[in-house]
Amino acid sequence: MSQLSSIDKPLLSKVALITGASRGIGLAIAKSLAGMGAKISVCARDSGKLGAAAGDLERHGVAVLAVPADVSRATDVATLVQKTEKSLGPIEILVNNAGIGVFGPIQEASEADWDSALDTNLKSVFLLSRAVAPGMISRSSGHIINIASLSGKSAFAGGSIYCASKWGLLGLTGCMAEDLRPFGIRVSAVCPGSVATDFSPPSKKDPRKMLQPEDVAHAVSTIVTQTSRSFISEVLLRPTQRP
C-alpha cells in the first residue's frame, strides 16, 4: 500500500458493520466509512428500505453487503456476523446505531413500549458487541462505536423510557471499554443532540439549525482514525446554534 493510499483511504480494506443503516445517521455513517476505504456491511429490520439504502450506496460506487436483521435477536445477530465475515472478512469496526424512540408520560407507557426500546437500544448493543469481541481480541485490535444520545445525560418530560435506554447504553459502553482495552479494542460512545431525521419526536426546532446525520458520521470517522496510542471514549455533539 502506498503512503498516498493510506492517507486518502485510511480504512482501506477494513470491514465495518453498521446497524440501523437503512436511513438517517446509519446510512450517513456507512457512506462516510466507505469513502475512507472500508468494506461495508449494513443491516436493518425493513428489507425494502435496506435494499433501497444498499442501492444508494452502490450508486456512490460502494461495494456493500446488506443483511436484513433484527439485532435484538441473538439468532439474527449470529447470522449477520457470519454472513459479513464470510463475504467481506473479519469485522474491525462495529457501529451500533440501531435505535428507536419511544416518548410519552411514564404513566401512559406500556410494558411493550419498554421492551421494544430497551431491546433495540440496549440489548442489541450487548448482543452485537459480544458476537464480534472474540475475533477482535484474537487480532488485538478493533473499534466498537455506540451511537448514544445527550438524552443519556439529561432528563425531560416524556423521555423516561428513551432516556433509560441511553443512560444504560453509556454505562454499558464505559464498562465494555474497560473490559476490552487490554486487548487493543477501543470502545466509544457518540452522544448527539437532536438530529434532523424522522427519528426525533415532533418539535418546533428549526431543522436548518439542528445537527445533520453527516455531523454524526464525521464524529465516527474521527474516532476510527485515532492513533493507536489513544482512543476517544465519548463525544458530546451539539449544534453551533440552538435550534
Looking at the 3D structure of the chain, how many domains does it have? 1
Amino acid residing at 205:
K
Query: What is the distance between the alpha carbons of residues 15 and 220, in angstroms, rounded to a whole number?
Result: 15
Residue 201 has pLDDT above 80, yes or no: no
How is the chain split among helix, strand and coil, in percent rounded to 5?
45, 15, 35
Per the domain annotation, does 147 fall within a domain? yes
Mean pLDDT confidence for 145-174: 97
Per the domain annotation, does 195 fall within a domain? yes
What is the structure's pLDDT at 185? 97
Grid look-up 428489507 returns: 47
How do strand 91-96 and strand 185-192 relate by DSSP bridges?
unpaired
pTM of the model: 0.94
Query: What is the distance between the alpha carbons of residues 200 and 86, in angstroms, rounded to a whole number?
Result: 35
Per the domain annotation, does 50 fall within a domain? yes
What is the structure's pLDDT at 242? 82
Give the phi and the psi of residue 222 in degrees, each rounded to 5.
Answer: -65, -40
How many Å is the Cα radius of gyration of the chain? 17
Helical ranges in the chain per DSSP H: 3-8, 24-35, 47-59, 74-87, 111-118, 124-139, 160-180, 213-223
Amino acid residing at 168:
G
Bin 45: left if φ > 0, else alpha if -120 < ψ < 50, else beta.
alpha
In terms of residue numbers, what domain contains 71? Answer: 3-237
Per the domain annotation, does 205 fall within a domain? yes
Per the domain annotation, does 26 fall within a domain? yes
Instruction: Give the tens place of pLDDT for each residue, 130-159.
Output: 999 999 999 999 999 999 999 999 999 999
Nearest-5° Cα angle at 94, 91 to 100:
140
Here the CATH number for the domain that contains residue 94 is 3.40.50.720
Instruction: Give the tens place of pLDDT for each residue, 74-126.
Output: 999 999 999 999 999 999 999 999 999 999 999 999 999 999 999 999 999 99
* Lookup: cell for 31: 457512506
What is the structure's pLDDT at 8? 81
What is the structure's pLDDT at 228? 87
Burial of 32 (0-12, 13-18, 19+ CB in 10 A): buried
- Residues 122 and 168: beta-carbon distance below 8 Å: yes
Per the domain annotation, does 29 fall within a domain? yes
Could you tell me which residues are beta bridge partners of residue 95? 18, 145
What is the structure's pLDDT at 202? 59
Query: What is the distance between the alpha carbons of residues 87 and 69, in angstroms, rounded to a whole number?
Result: 16
Confidence band, pLDDT 50/70/90 cuts, at residue 203: low
Per the domain annotation, does 215 fall within a domain? yes
Per the domain annotation, does 199 fall within a domain? yes
Residues annotated as part of the active site: 162
